[in-house]
Amino acid sequence: MPKNIVLMGYRGSGKTYTARYLAKKLGRKIISTDKEIKKKICPIKDFIEKNDWEKFREIESEVIRNINENNLIIDCGGGFVERERNVESLKKNGIIIWLKTSHEQIRKRIRDSEERPSLTGKKSFLDEIEEVLQKRTPLYKKAADYEIDTDNKPVEQVGNEILKLIKMKTEVCIPIIAKTSEQAVKDLKQAEKLADLVELRIDFIKNIDENKLEKLVKSKNKKIIVTCRPKNLCGNFGGSEKERINLLEKAIEIESDFIDIEIESDKKIIKKIIEKKNNSKIIVSHHNLKETPSLKELNDKYNEIEKLNPDLVKIVTTAKSINDNFIIFSLLRGKDDLIAFCMGIRGQISRILAPKYGSKITFASLKEGKESASGQMSIEEMKNVYNIDLINDKTKAVGVIGEFAENSMSKYMHNASFREKRLNFAYMPFKVREQELRKFIKNFRKFNFRGSSVTIPHKVAVIKHIDKIDGTAKQIGAVNTIVSSNGKLIGYNTDYYGAVEALKEKTNLKNKKALVVGAGGGARAVVYGLKKENSSVTIINRTTEKARILAKEFNVKFDGMENIKQLVKNNEIIINTTSVGMTPNTSESIINGSDLIKGKIVMDIVYKPAETKLIKQARKAKCSVITGDRMLIYQAIRQFKLWTGQEPDFRLMEKAILSVLNN
Ligand code: NAP
């Protein structure tokens, strides 16, 4: 538990007593920001009378900024949240816990305190509680990693709830796979700044010996796992088994925090290591590099390892299908000493949801290219894209169902918005092949996932697996959003809304003549939206027959691709809904640049890249342009609202998507 525990709440929420309780239980030091302030200005009451609260807050920020220790219990003054930078400083190395207390309880608890000056300066501090609470409650909510109700609870109960929370927290570990001990020290220093603990893969270090190992372990500042995988178990250690075990025994002697030894090693040796572990903890691990066996087989493996009485069991399999992750989630149920996840790109959701299902550790690479196993994401991605530090057992899982879901950009927009709104959701890629869809939706229901986006090739196929489809999605004939509501899966289509809102940024659509190029899934939503807005639509497509069918269905016109030049001239709005120009074919455009005329509105729904060749041509011809990211953002805004009931911040979503699209 390297992170600080930061207690936050209004005066009288019990921070001081809870801090003392936790400090005693965990053997940690307390820092009270109010006490630190008092060392600088005493008494506070006189200071406030002579100065103002603004001056006080400045001193408070300075105190918070200067906290640079780990492993503390920090008891914060009730008003520190009023400055966002205080929250940012504390979050860098701490978990913020909000002790939520009702107005009545606060009144009761602080009635007798004299040392508390009024915050508003107008009322007594008792009368102002409601007013200040109203102002601060949204700030507390935004800052809190966890909330604990304290009304009518003794300190011990509140403290124990916090201890349970902390104990449950999954730690993020960075493996070090450097080839030399000099590089390992450098990587270790970097990794320690980012992770909860570090795994030293000594099998990667050339000519590793006991001296080098001792130097490395002595240089650590955080908890460390020492692992030395032999070549036959997918490691790199080239020495003899005796040399390998000697190194592990040395790791115990020099008090490494954890030693990892494989269940496939000689059982007598594993037992001996466990017996002689001293202050180290022993992880006994099993890796299946081919597949994810059945839950029964994995439970048998767990029991086989458990019999040896290690401190932690590690079971890692390979996901051949997205559905393998659910076997791991079931395996984790009810076990508090298990590290488990799936390797491979299809196993990434088990790494992201490790804190939800209770894996004690999840792994992330120091940076791209420094992975110790397949499917391992970088710490940057785990933290900044997937908000791994905020995921817990209450997190609602959402994502995108698609054959190439890993390429979807939506994770950037949704996860940034969940973080900003302090919503306990996590969005991730559900990489599902056509033949896996039925089983995936079954698991989605069983594990109570909250919702999902749907993309190629499942927008139509998914309809038969869900319970209800809303009127618009029915008319469009495709579902791009699923919401789980009271155990039922409901399908929506937000693409049409995205297209219409994007167009409305530049023009009114009523009675406008619009040419839609393409007749695929995207085109269906665009044509539906344009019809709804009373535009006059013509569809053209490479396969004219598809244009004819779509035009008939929506009662609009169609034409042949050979007439594109004339059609571009005759229409006021031109929309590309084909995939032409999409990465990697960025030099292609469905329209000849010289056919574009000044004053036309040109929209490309392709968003990768945002500046497609068509958009560049249109800009050159002085047309008004709408890039694909506009539709993407608007459709995501609708999805977000369907899942959470809240309106996300448009600018934040825009910033999140543009920062990756322009990279
Ligand atoms: P889709 O259903 O597979 O349809 C593809 C369309 O592109 C078809 O009309 C196809 O014509 C046409 N096409 C493909 N290659 C072509 C070529 N070389 N020359 C001429 N036409 C070609 O795909 P979709 O779901 O509609 O997606 C299409 C594009 O829109 C993708 O880039 C997707 O990322 C993007 N999109 C963006 C958003 C957004 O929010 N911005 C939303 C949805 C889709 P045929 O019928 O002749 O095969």
Give CA–CA dist 60/49, Å, rounded. 17
Residue corresponding to tokens 């796992």: 225
- Cis peptide bond prior to 293, omega within 30° of 0: no
Give me the amino acid identity at 315: I
Would you please indicate which residues are annotated as catalytic (active-site) residues?
A: 287, 314, 459, 495
Q: Is the CB of 495 under 6 A from ligand 1?
A: yes
Report how far apart, in Å, the C-alpha atoms of 382 and of each of 162, 165, 296, 352 are.
Answer: 24, 21, 30, 7
pLDDT at 251 exceeding the cut of 70: yes
Asked if the model's pLDDT at residue 648 lies above 60, the reply is: yes
Mean local confidence (pLDDT), 429-445: 98
**Is any atom of ligand 1 closer than 6 Å to the C-beta of 402?**
no
The one-letter amino acid at 582: M
Superfamily of domain 419-493+635-640: Leucine Dehydrogenase, chain A, domain 1 (3.40.50.10860)
- 500-626 belongs to which homologous superfamily? NAD(P)-binding Rossmann-like Domain (3.40.50.720)
DSSP state of 239: S
Mean pLDDT of the chain: 93
* Distance of CA 484 from the midpoint of ligand 1 (Å): 28
- Read off the pLDDT of residues 114-142 as tens digits, 9 standing for 90 and up: 555 666 666 666 677 888 888 899 999 88
Most confident of 42-56, 78-92, 165-179, 625-639: 625-639
CA pair distance 12, 105, nearest whole angstrom: 8
Is residue 609 lining ligand 1, measured as CB closer than 6 Å? no
Q: Cβ(578) to ligand 1 under 6 A?
A: yes
Contacts (Cβ under 8 Å, ≥6 apart) of 585: none
Å from CA of 418 to ligand 1 middle: 30
Cα maximum dimension of the chain: 86
DSSP H or E segment with residue 73: strand 72-75
Q: What is the mean pLDDT of residues 594-603?
A: 96
For the segment 481-504, the average pLDDT, to the nearest whole number, is 97
Report the nearest atom of ligand 1 relative to the CA of 628.
41
Residue appearing with tokens 């309106």:
647
The number of helices, as runs of H, and strands, as runs of E, in the chain is 27, 25
Domain ranges of the chain: 4-167, 171-389, 419-493+635-640, 500-626
Q: In which residue are the tokens 């995108």 written?
A: 400
What DSSP assignment string belongs to 257-316?
SEEEEETTS-HHHHHHHHHT-TT-EEEEEEE-SS----HHHHHHHHHHHHTT--SEEEEE
Mutate to test the pocket of ligand 1, among 544, 579, 639 (most ligand atoms within 8 A of CB): 579
pLDDT of residue 112: 61
CA of 588, closest atom in ligand 1: 18
Q: Is the pLDDT of residue 1 over 50?
A: no
User: According to the model, what pLDDT value does residue 488 have?
Assistant: 97
CA distance 180 to 206: 6
Question: Between helices 33-40 and 53-65, what is the axis angle to 10°?
Answer: 110
Q: Is the CB of 205 under 6 A from ligand 1?
A: no
Residue identified by tokens 């309780």 is 21
In degrees and rounded to multiples of 5, residue 302 shows phi and psi of: -60, -45
Identify whether the C-beta of residue 199 lies closer than 8 Å to the C-beta of residue 363: yes
Q: Which ligand 1 atom minimizes the distance to the CA of 582? A: 32
Kindly state the average pLDDT of the residues 143-164.
90
Cβ of 581 closer than 6 Å to ligand 1, yes or no, is: no
Residues 6+ apart with CB under 8 A from 551: 538, 539, 557, 558
pLDDT at 122: 63
Contact in structure between 535 and 512 (CB atoms under 8 Å): yes
pTM of the predicted model, to two decimals?
0.79
Given this model, what pLDDT does residue 123 score? 65
User: Which of 32-41, 199-208, 565-574, 609-618 is predicted least confidently?
Assistant: 32-41
Question: In terms of pLDDT, which residue wins out, 458 or 124?
Answer: 458
Common-topology check for domains 171-389 and 500-626: no
**Which tokens hold the place of 291?**
């597949």
CA distance 590 to 579: 9
What percent of the chain shows pLDDT beyond 70? Answer: 97
For 200, the token pair is 């030293």
Higher pLDDT, 249 or 106: 249
- What are the pLDDT digits (tens) for 34-76? 999 988 887 777 887 788 788 888 999 999 999 988 779 999 9
Ligand 1 mean position, distance from CA 588 (Å): 13
Q: Which fold has domain 171-389?
A: TIM Barrel (3.20.20)
| Cα 393 to Cα 379: distance, rounded to the nearest angstrom | 21
CA of 522 to the centre of ligand 1 (A): 7
Ligand 1 midpoint to CA 607 (Å): 11
pLDDT at 104: 86
Task: Give the three-class secondary structure for 482.
Answer: strand
Q: Is 494 in the pocket of ligand 1 (CB under 6 A)?
A: no
Spatial separation of the C-alpha atoms in residues 582 and 587, rounded to whole Å: 9
**Ligand 1 closest atom vs CA 524:** 26
So what's the pLDDT on residue 52? Answer: 79
Q: With a 6 A CB cut-off, is 546 part of the ligand 1 pocket?
A: yes
The CATH fold of domain 4-167: Rossmann fold (3.40.50)
Distances in Å between the Cα of 360 and the Cα atoms of 22, 282, 618 are 21, 13, 53
SS3 426: strand
Q: Is the CB of 529 under 6 A from ligand 1?
A: no
C-beta of residue 263 within 8 angstroms of C-beta of residue 287: no
Cα 389 off chain centre by: 8
Residue 58: count other Cβ atoms within 10 Å of its Cβ: 12
Q: Which atom of ligand 1 is nearest to the CA of 561?
A: 20
17 alpha carbon – ligand 1 mean position (Å) = 62
Shortest-distance Cα residue to atom 1 of ligand 1: 520
